[in-house]
Amino acid sequence: MTITREPTTDHRSITPRGTPAVEEFLSQPVDHMARLPWPFAEGHEAFRYSVNVDQARVPRRTLAGEWGRHVCDLGGAEYPTIMAERRAVLDADPSRVKVLPGMELACWDLLLYYLRDLALSYPDVLHLDEGVGGDPDAFHWRNDLLGTDQAFVLGNGSTLPCGPLEFLAREVPDDLLLVRERDGRLHFDAGAVTFAAAWSVSFDVGMDMYEIHGPVPRMNGSGMTARAEQFLRRVPADQVFRRVNWNVAASPTRKYDIALESLPAWGRDMAEAVQRGDAIENCQFRIELEHFIRLPMTGAVTFNIRTFMASLAEVREYPTYAAQLATILEELPEDLGTYKGFIDLIPDMVAFLRG
Ligand code: HEM
């Protein structure tokens, strides 16, 4: 059986520095299951939506490896491939970054938070110098894995090649979403999102939590949106939280970009794979690892999404996981399967996972 592993874009914009630490980092084996945040607790046989949040930065063992040690998982040897896809999307479609007026400082806040966190998490390959030349607002960022070398002054847009949110989006695999309170409700008021799972950042920015979650079955009506909002309001400044969400992607390829904006580029992937007869094994179990952080300068809250994928063929290499996913898919209520978009594939997926 062939599992598609080729990168979907080239690496023209990325030139890693040839240090021993970079070579070691990029020579890690690519194993999609090893980093996958398995979303179901041991023994669970049914899935329903819930406000499933827990403390971040706590490593979790799985049958295949480990996830969750750092806020930002660069993705090992796949990092340049993911970043090449992300940068290609940003180059082609500026509408993937949308920042409403008044959110500029929150974007700087997010940039600084992440760069500091990244430099602490990956000290051999990522570096942030602070207070350069005695100026407390002057920074120097070096990312040896991508070849970035950028000095900037906090809050001064002319010192970066693009806005601070886009600059960060070009350095990390995470989709970046910022939430602020206005008119008594939490609103999604800034985002740099290239890997949305069949939704659109330019359409959703500016919406409140109830508007965003309107299409999600059982969410607003059940009080879950209210609970999610209450949780977000209470995120303290000194703790980071996370949550996992899952789906089976609409395209049976390793394309991360299955946003509504790029529908013409991926919309026929499933039909073509079905026709070829290799759809089911290449269906991607797609996990979103979301981090909630209250930013220190502005109090804005992040909802950053790191997407992981493993094909059903890769999942099947772990019989316990394959059996659990099959049971959960089989039990999934119709409205959830329909919203998630894979209801018609469930019988074939279950048969494959049990095969
Ligand atoms: C604890 C907080 C939150 C919870 C529990 C939650 C829960 C959910 C759930 C269950 C879904 C359906 C996902 C699926 O089945 O694949 C969803 C979709 C979504 N959520 Fe949230 N969410 C939270 C916070 C947020 C925030 C803060 C934002 C934006 C800043 C957001 C943006 C979205 C978007 C864009 C979708 C896709 C909606 C669509 O299909 O159009 N969520 N959320």
Domain of 79 in residue numbering reads as 20-354
In angstroms, the first-to-last Cα distance of the chain is 13
242 is catalytic: no
Q: Residue 3 falls within a domain, yes or no?
A: no
Q: Residue 342 falls within a domain, yes or no?
A: yes
Distance 157 CA to ligand 1 centre (A): 31
> Is the CB of 51 inside a 6 Å radius of any atom of ligand 1?
yes
Q: Residue 224 falls within a domain, yes or no?
A: yes
Q: Is 221 exposed, middle or buried (0-12, 13-18, 19+ CB in 10 A)?
A: exposed
DSSP per position, 118-168: HHHHSTTTEEEEESGGG-TTEEEEEETTTTEEEEEETT-GGGSSS-HHHHH
Place of tokens 């030139």: 15
Query: From the CB of residue 149, how many other CB atoms can be counted at a distance below 10 Å?
Result: 12
Q: Quick one: tokens of 116? A: 């500091």
Degrees to nearest 5, angle at CA 354 with 352 and 355: 60
Q: Give the residue whose CA is nearest to atom 21 of ligand 1.
A: 213
Q: Give the residue whose CA is nearest to atom 43 of ligand 1.
A: 213
Q: Are 229 and 209 in contact (CB under 8 A)?
A: yes
Q: What is the spatial distance between Cα 143 and Cα 172, in angstroms, rounded to a whole number?
A: 10
User: What is the pLDDT, as a whole number, of residue 13?
Assistant: 74
Catalytic pick among 86, 96, 170, 243? 243
Q: What is the spatial distance between Cα 188 and Cα 108, in angstroms, rounded to a whole number?
A: 17
**Per-residue pLDDT tens over the stretch 202-230:** 999 999 999 999 999 999 999 999 999 99
User: What is the pLDDT, as a whole number, of residue 11?
Assistant: 55
Q: Residue 15 falls within a domain, yes or no?
A: no
pTM, full prediction? 0.95
Distance 303 CA to ligand 1 centre (A): 9
**Per-residue pLDDT tens over the stretch 78-93:** 999 999 999 999 999 9
Q: Residue 67 falls within a domain, yes or no?
A: yes
User: What is the pLDDT, as a whole number, of residue 275?
Assistant: 96
**Per-residue pLDDT tens over the stretch 225-277:** 999 999 999 999 999 999 999 999 999 999 999 999 999 999 999 999 999 99
Q: Residue 346 falls within a domain, yes or no?
A: yes
Q: Is 83 exposed, middle or buried (0-12, 13-18, 19+ CB in 10 A)?
A: buried
Handedness of CA 323, 324, 329, 333 (dihedral sign): positive
User: What is the pLDDT, as a whole number, of residue 12?
Assistant: 54
Q: What is the spatial distance between Cα 205 and Cα 190, in angstroms, rounded to a whole number?
A: 6
Q: Residue 11 falls within a domain, yes or no?
A: no
Q: Which of 216, 229, 234 to mutate to test the pocket of ligand 1 (most atoms within 8 A of CB)?
A: 216
Q: Residue 8 falls within a domain, yes or no?
A: no
Q: What is the spatial distance between Cα 120 and Cα 66, in angstroms, rounded to a whole number?
A: 19
Domain count, the chain: 1
> Is the CB of 235 inside a 6 Å radius of any atom of ligand 1?
no
pLDDT along the chain (355 residues), means of 10: 38 85 96 98 97 97 98 97 97 97 98 98 98 98 98 98 98 98 97 98 98 97 97 96 98 97 96 96 98 98 98 98 98 98 97 97
